[in-house]
Structure 1
Amino acid sequence: MGIPIASNPIETTVSPGQRLVDEARLMPIHIIAAIACLGGAALDGYILGIIGPALSIAKHELLLTAMSQGLIACSALIGVFIGGLVFGNFADRYGRRPVFSWNLAAFVVLSVLQFFVQDIWQLVVIRVLLGVAIGVEYAVGSTVLAEFSRRKSRAALLGCFTIAWQIGFTVAFIIGAFYEGDNWRLLLGSSVIPAIIIYLLRLLLPETPMWLKSKGREAEARAIVDKHFGAEYVIPDVDVSSKSASLRELFKRDTWRQSLYSGLFWFCQVGPFFAIFTFMVPVLEKLGLQGDHRVDLSLNAIQIAGVIFGVFLVHWMSRRGFQIWTFVAVLAIFLVLGLFPHAPTWFIVGMFATYMFIGPAINNIQFVYPTEIFDTHIRATGIGFSAAFSRISAAGVTYLLPYLLQTFGLSATLIMMAGFPLLGLVVTLLWAPETKGKHLR
């Protein structure tokens, strides 16, 4: 049985004829928020996806070595760690809207700067800064969408972050695959177009009423609700016990388990995800399929199908149940691949393909669970910490994987990687709260 770690619920008194704002029917503000937030996720996927095709063209001009290509590829991960850890807290202190809007302005400027890159270090710096902006999206984008979402559809809507990201990544792959020019700067800088569109759209989005209420700014919150929802709607009561959010608050006596769990489950999901997609390369090479655009498109299609399936799964299942059974599934896949290295090729490929369907499906909950675990006054800080914590395993696997493969071999490395879902399963059984259907507070 899990240790109860969720805060005691705050009851909201609703007068006759009134309804909570998260029970509202679908309204234009919901649609604007969804496009503005999910558009940012698609932009993240595009920026991370377009670097591969661009580097394949730029490597001769920039004289890229394997080391420098790896540095450029992982530079965004470093930025995500910084962006999530720092700017999520800014959004709790100073408001969602300023951080949410100006982050897209940063995307626009950094996209333009890529047109003028002259050497490796300039590109590394820009990619780190883009990673910072992506980290802000993880922390603040999901926070804004959660606070503008309807309670019953919140999980499915937040799960769409992964769909949007995968679509952006796939679009980047398609553009890169069929681009016949030699201007790699044009590929990198092409992200400026969607960045401008999403930036302008975000200017239409007001501050979230829940954040305003958590800061005691009741009149401003009430005005936004009246304008976009109607006078009959009220904001659920939120915790206003802390006027200044800080990372320290995540690790108080009554909150440290939920904060650590939110980072740990994400950490345990991302590690295997990076591992399995790295292992996919030698498998495809063994079959003579590496570089075949039809195979790559098929694999992207499997991932998108998995992401869509994951949205339904996270909507139907309890949060704890989703975590428990998906960790069990990933653990089984890694152990089977590690313990039976001489299985038929079709079986090995089938297991990899299964994970390519399940892995993206699992990622949906990364944008759902943390928004429900943390209270409004600390939500973006908590999500930012969780996203940053998860990058430790992502960067660690990316860095250590070649050494582990060379030293211990594929089978032993896969068994080591099974430690991620095993740890995730244990901490879920011990600490995971059930948050499905709750009103945000």
Structure 2
Amino acid sequence: MAIAVIPTGPVERDSLGRLPIDEAPLKPVHIVAAASVLGGAALDGYVLGIVGPALAIAQHELQLSAISQGLIASSALIGVFIGGLLFGNLADRFGRRPVFAWNLAAFIVLSLLQLVVQDVWQLVAIRLALGLAIGVEYAVGSSFLAEFSRRKNRGVLLGCFGVGWQAVFTIAFVIGTFYHGDNWRMLLASSVVPALITFILRLTLPETPMWLKARGRVAEAEAIVARHFGPGYAIPDIALDASLASPRELFTAQSWRQTLYSGFFWFCQVGPFFAIFTFMVPVLESLRLNGSAMVDMSLNLLQIVGSIAGVFLLHWMSRRGFVIWTFAIVLATFLALGLFPDAPTWIIVTLFATYMFVGPVANSIQFVYPAEIFDTHVRATGIGFSAAFSRISAAGVTYLLPYLLLQFGFSATLILMALFPLLGLVMSIGWAPETKGKHLR
């Protein structure tokens, strides 16, 4: 099976001697774009990380069964599926900025609505709508940041999306775990604070010049480049396409394999990850690791360290090598935990700590790879498809995990989940493209 390799190409000046904007040194627009996107990543992590502890408090009041807990926890992930498909394409059609900015207004309203939830189905509906907003962050946020990033450090910068997400996901889990009150509605609604800050920040950003040029709005694009980058820089050659971007372009004879891979590698990473991290308390109980504050804090710290390590590995490793090795390590860890449930406690702790570290490491590439695989005129559509496809596994496994743990125990459940890294490893060996250092076009 042929391996797709995307050539990086040398740095070339245009006819006026100008360099591409992705060769520009650090500018204020880079900083604001990074802060606004990473703020959205942090908000996403908070929304998804706080739900597990909040459900533990709400369980008695709402009389939650294992199935209803899974439904509430997975509803935001189902929303990401819809939001990624819908809003990614809208951003390719009508612009990154309007979708990217006003998405935060929805976050603010939906966060506050959680204060008045009265039953399970109201909470499911609101979390589903929050998932739609999160889908925008994955599809449009990473597209926006990629088109405002410098080529040489693009992997590190986009990888920081994962650091922000993972750090705040973990912080939300810790806040919820050590919260001693009973107001679970306030826990869920507290996401309004970072949403408001990020919304204000995004209103200061321009449209990306790469998208404007791809849509044939060259004069507007050049004005933004002159204002934010200076006269020595220009937009690289981009295929002009004034027509409305169509998802069909993702599945041409030349593009279908890379499109499917972009969705599948993400699919295989996040299914087990979201399930285990959302229901950490019952998972730790199944592993006989509950009840120790030191263990809880150590494992949570490992997640943050792992996400930071992932950024460095993205800088040092090829994209192909990164996904192949992380899938291989996760597969070996799952099989060892599943096949040897009666191993000594220190071995169980070591193996689970390995996954707590490698899982966030692996997730770092989710915000880099798709942005590099797809061209500008369909980038948000492609990333949206990939994010949506990944949420099939994330929502499905998260929904089923409480039931599977109850019926089959953690060992059998983990062996089943090992199918995800196995599939990811096989597909990465056969299909993973190399995109490191590529000039976006």
For this structure pair, what is the TM-score category when the shorter chain's length is used for normalisation?
A: over 0.9
Confirm or deny that 1:379 pairs with 2:379: yes
SS at match of 2:49: helix
Counterpart Cα distance in 2 of 1:221 and 1:350: 52
Counterpart Cα distance in 2 of 1:257 and 1:286: 39
Deviations 1:250-303 (A, max 9, x none): 111111001000001111111232455479645632676425444322211010
Counterpart Cα distance in 2 of 1:229 and 1:216: 20
SS at match of 1:353: helix
Task: Give the counterpart letter for 1:153 in structure 2.
Answer: N
Confirm or deny that 1:195 pairs with 2:195: yes
Distance change >3 Å, CA 422–CA 186, structure 1 → 2: closer
How far off its partner does 1:10 sit?
11
Q: Which residue of 2 aligns with 1:351?
A: 351
Task: Give the counterpart letter for 1:67 in structure 2.
Answer: I
5 Å-filtered alignment, 1:32-431, equals 32-241=32-241, 243-274=243-274, 276-277=276-277, 281=281, 284-285=284-285, 289-402=289-402, 404=404, 410-431=410-431
- Is there any run of 5+ residues in structure 1 with no aligned partner, and where? none
How far off its partner does 1:120 sit?
2.3
Could you state the TM-score of these two structures normalised by the residue count of structure 2? 0.93
Task: Give the counterpart letter for 1:82 in structure 2.
Answer: I
SS at match of 2:14: coil
Counterpart Cα distance in 1 of 2:214 and 2:238: 6
Deviations 1:321-365 (A, max 9, x none): 111111221222223233334432211221111011011000000
SS at match of 2:149: coil
Distance change >3 Å, CA 286–CA 215, structure 1 → 2: closer
Deviations 1:202-221 (A, max 9, x none): 00010000000100100000
Q: Verify the 8 A CA contact 2:75 2:127 in the aligned structure 1.
A: yes
Could you state the TM-score of these two structures normalised by the residue count of structure 1? 0.93
Counterpart Cα distance in 2 of 1:79 and 1:286: 29
How far off its partner does 1:61 sit?
3.4
Q: Verify the 8 A CA contact 1:139 1:387 in the aligned structure 2.
A: yes
SS at match of 2:83: helix
- Is there any run of 5+ residues in structure 2 with no aligned partner, and where? none
Counterpart Cα distance in 2 of 1:257 and 1:271: 21
Counterpart Cα distance in 2 of 1:154 and 1:139: 17
How far off its partner does 1:92 sit?
0.4
Counterpart Cα distance in 2 of 1:386 and 1:306: 23
SS at match of 1:104: helix
Counterpart Cα distance in 1 of 2:98 and 2:434: 32
How far off its partner does 1:378 sit?
0.3
How far off its partner does 1:51 sit?
2.1
Q: How many residues align?
A: 441
Counterpart Cα distance in 1 of 2:26 and 2:11: 24
How far off its partner does 1:315 sit?
1.1
How far off its partner does 1:11 sit?
9.0
SS at match of 1:254: coil
Q: Which moved more, 1:418-427 or 1:37-46?
A: 418-427
How far off its partner does 1:58 sit?
3.0
Counterpart Cα distance in 2 of 1:411 and 1:63: 28
Q: Verify the 8 A CA contact 1:328 1:425 in the aligned structure 2.
A: yes
Deviations 1:67-108 (A, max 9, x none): 333221111111111111110010000000000001001111
